[in-house]
Structure 1
Amino acid sequence: MHRSFARRRLLQGAAALGGAVLLTPLGTTAEAAGSAGGRWPSGFPLPDGFQPEGIAIGTRPYAYVGSIAHGSVHRASLATGRGRTVVEGAGPDHPVIGLKLDEQHGRLLLCGGVSREIRVADLRSGRVVTSYTVGSEGTMVNDVVLTPGAAWFTDSYKAQLYRLPLGRRGELGDIATVPLSGDWVQGPDFTANGIARTPDGSALIVADTAADGGALMRVDPRTGRARKVEIGALQLPYADGLLLLGRTLYVVQQQINAIDVVELNAAGTRGRAITRITDPAHFRIPTTAAAWGDRIYLPNARFDVPPTPETDYDVVSVQQV
């Protein structure tokens, strides 16, 4: 973990580039929304020292947030902000980075970072029921997306993805390693980050922070062949979590405290930047994003401060575009 996040902290000076408003391509401005509507809170606190990174929200108003510090998962009500630990962690050597809900089968898929672990936790009991070790020395399992027949995981230090087959009745298959080729550019260290599906579901979109100053890659899941998504002059050097809603892709650029919003075509081969969301009063290095109603929820990872058991962390939200 230390290698990956040490690099992120070296980039903290870029945080000053974050604006104070929600910017549109036409140059008009509007304040980033700060209320969840009604009496629901716009955000909620996490336990001190938690060190969040990933977030997942399903069909019910609860957020699941993973901990880098000790590998636990915190579940919080979006209606009240109150929460509790639902998956006990196994310590700092077994962190949780990205995570996704598989509600149909009552489980969470957890990315174990440099532990090289992919873990499957039962939602009802909170127990880790299955664990895989993938990659090789230097691997970092970062983020995950669910497709109808598989879960796909990124490796931030290797030019490859991991495919976990998912059967119709929830059975788990053997993990396969899918090398990335084509336009993929593997940097000297941290490269692949967030992952999403294309709007038509035919391929994967993966953030490549090393290609052309930071880019999105469309990856053929059958071959691993990558093609750069044409998004004009927009660069994404700090791209972290990806959230696709319809054809709208939210790209969390953590070190500059911003979300770049891109409208994709159905196949995910090209897109156009439509706005950038910033909220300097509340963004403190957000990393990933999940949606409920008309809100986007983001955990503040605070990579720009030394983590301690007393460091405060939270989840904040902004209005969808």
Structure 2
Amino acid sequence: MQRSFARRGVLGAAAAVGGAALLAPLAPTATAAPTARAPWPTGFPLPRGFQPEGIAIGSSPYAYFGSLADGSVHRVALATGRGRTVVPPLGPEHNVVGLKIDRRERQLFLCGGWNREIRIVDATTGAPLAAYTGLGAADTGINDVVLAPGAAWFTDSFNAHLFRLPLDRHDEPTGPVETVALTGDWEQGPGFTTNGISRTPDGRSLLVANTVVDGGGLVRVDPRNGRCRRVDLGALRLPFADGLLLLGRLLYVVQQQLNTVNVVRLDDAGTRGTEVARITDARFRIPTTAAAYRGRIYLPNARFDVQPTPDTEYDAVAVERVRG
């Protein structure tokens, strides 16, 4: 039987916790609206039955989406909303969860979820470039990835470690995947614990979403030794934090089952943050991750509150980027 990889994993939990309308108002509140960049679409369909989870956008106006259903990758032109499959399906026993594109827009780094695999493919042709298989333990779920100078870092949703893939200055892999244990302030729950990953504004450390610490929050990780420190977010709690997107000092935190994106202004070191905006939109249907192009933030709707079928409709939506 196929094990479905969902970042928060409980079907129907969105109905239990309610939608964005249950959130208390925040001043200022960012309410998503179509931008002035029309006729570029502010939403577009993805293939039926695709089960999107991750998104990646480089410096060119194309978004890449990974499929939980079969490990394929779909590329969409942001100017038109039209897309095509660039990485062919591998079958129902494979997943693509998080993904990132390198600085030269030549390679896609794909998180393999339950199949305990990291793949690197050509971003244009989808041709396989490298694969690392059998990573971690039997319960490993390779969830999200961030590229940093010298390494690609991957989260494991069910274990207290990160995977590190060494890279050269051209983002080419140079060695085997390493395991870096998470210590210090890290709290590991009995099940799903680790989610999205980003860099700190100063680029020296990593930020990881942890569903347990502080009732759901962020942890700053020293990449040299895995030592963790809780990020002081004041009263803000992030129990459903999924994808993390850092733009300058603003961190966009996708709270998928709340149909909300919390925007947090961080200090340079990423040790503390203050919520400055909260984005909600009637088009959100459990968005999971986020990527930016110009003045917009793009998010795939994972629809974890419905039982997926080959005919289930999926889409992605765009909202305005928060300024300041």
Check whether TM > 0.5.
yes
SS at match of 1:314: strand
Contact 1:4–1:190 at 8 Å: present in 2 too? no
Q: Deviations over 1:34-69 (max 9, x none)?
A: 346221000110000000000000000000000001
Pick the aligned partner of 1:207 from 187, 206, 209: 209
SS at match of 2:190: coil
Q: Does 1:58 align with 2:81?
A: no
Hey, which bits of structure 1, 4+ residues long, moved more than 6 A?
A: none
Q: Runs of 5+ in structure 2 lacking a partner?
A: none
**Residues 30 and 193 (structure 1 numbering): CA distance in 2 closer, same or farther, change over 3 Å?**
closer
Give 1:104's aligned residue: 104
Give 1:304's aligned residue: 305
Deviation at 1:175, TM superposition (A): 0.9
For residues 170 and 200 of structure 2, the distance between their equivalents in structure 1, rounded to whole angstroms, comes to 25
Percent identity over paired residues: 60
For residues 288 and 29 of structure 1, the distance between their equivalents in structure 2, rounded to whole angstroms, comes to 20
For residues 138 and 282 of structure 1, the distance between their equivalents in structure 2, rounded to whole angstroms, comes to 33
For residues 6 and 192 of structure 1, the distance between their equivalents in structure 2, rounded to whole angstroms, comes to 10
Q: Does 1:290 align with 2:274?
A: no
Q: Runs of 5+ in structure 1 lacking a partner?
A: none
Q: Does 1:151 align with 2:168?
A: no
For residues 4 and 104 of structure 1, the distance between their equivalents in structure 2, rounded to whole angstroms, comes to 30
Matches within 5 A, 1:124-139: 124-133=124-133, 134-139=135-140
For residues 195 and 36 of structure 1, the distance between their equivalents in structure 2, rounded to whole angstroms, comes to 31
For residues 123 and 24 of structure 2, the distance between their equivalents in structure 1, rounded to whole angstroms, comes to 36
How many matched pairs?
A: 318
Give 1:261's aligned residue: 263
**Residues 36 and 102 (structure 1 numbering): CA distance in 2 closer, same or farther, change over 3 Å?**
farther
Q: Give the partner amino acid of 1:156.
A: S
TM-score (norm 2): 0.94
Deviation at 1:174, TM superposition (A): 1.4
SS at match of 1:8: coil
Give 2:9's aligned residue: 7
Deviation at 1:11, TM superposition (A): 2.2
Contact 2:163–2:178 at 8 Å: present in 1 too? yes
Matches within 5 A, 1:112-123: 112-123=112-123
Q: Give the partner amino acid of 2:74.
A: H
Q: What is the root-mean-square deviation in Å for CA atoms of aligned residues?
A: 1.8
Q: Give the partner amino acid of 2:96.
A: V
For residues 175 and 151 of structure 1, the distance between their equivalents in structure 2, rounded to whole angstroms, comes to 9
Give 1:242's aligned residue: 244
Give 2:233's aligned residue: 231
For residues 291 and 22 of structure 1, the distance between their equivalents in structure 2, rounded to whole angstroms, comes to 26
Contact 2:8–2:240 at 8 Å: present in 1 too? no
Deviation at 1:210, TM superposition (A): 1.1
Q: Give the partner amino acid of 2:33.
A: A
Contact 1:218–1:268 at 8 Å: present in 2 too? yes
Give 1:219's aligned residue: 221
Q: Does 1:161 align with 2:162?
A: yes
Deviation at 1:92, TM superposition (A): 1.7
**Residues 132 and 268 (structure 1 numbering): CA distance in 2 closer, same or farther, change over 3 Å?**
same
SS at match of 1:12: helix
Give 2:76's aligned residue: 76
Contact 1:55–1:298 at 8 Å: present in 2 too? yes
Deviation at 1:93, TM superposition (A): 1.1
Q: Does 1:37 align with 2:49?
A: no
Structure 1 stretch 60-69 or stretch 117-126: which is displaced more? 117-126
For residues 43 and 101 of structure 1, the distance between their equivalents in structure 2, rounded to whole angstroms, comes to 21
Q: Give the partner amino acid of 2:289.
A: T
Contact 2:53–2:68 at 8 Å: present in 1 too? yes
TM-score (norm 1): 0.95
Matches within 5 A, 1:180-199: 180-199=182-201
Contact 2:5–2:113 at 8 Å: present in 1 too? no
Contact 1:203–1:221 at 8 Å: present in 2 too? yes
Q: Give the partner amino acid of 1:67.
A: S
Q: Give the partner amino acid of 2:137.
A: S
Q: Does 1:178 align with 2:180?
A: yes
For residues 35 and 311 of structure 2, the distance between their equivalents in structure 1, rounded to whole angstroms, comes to 27
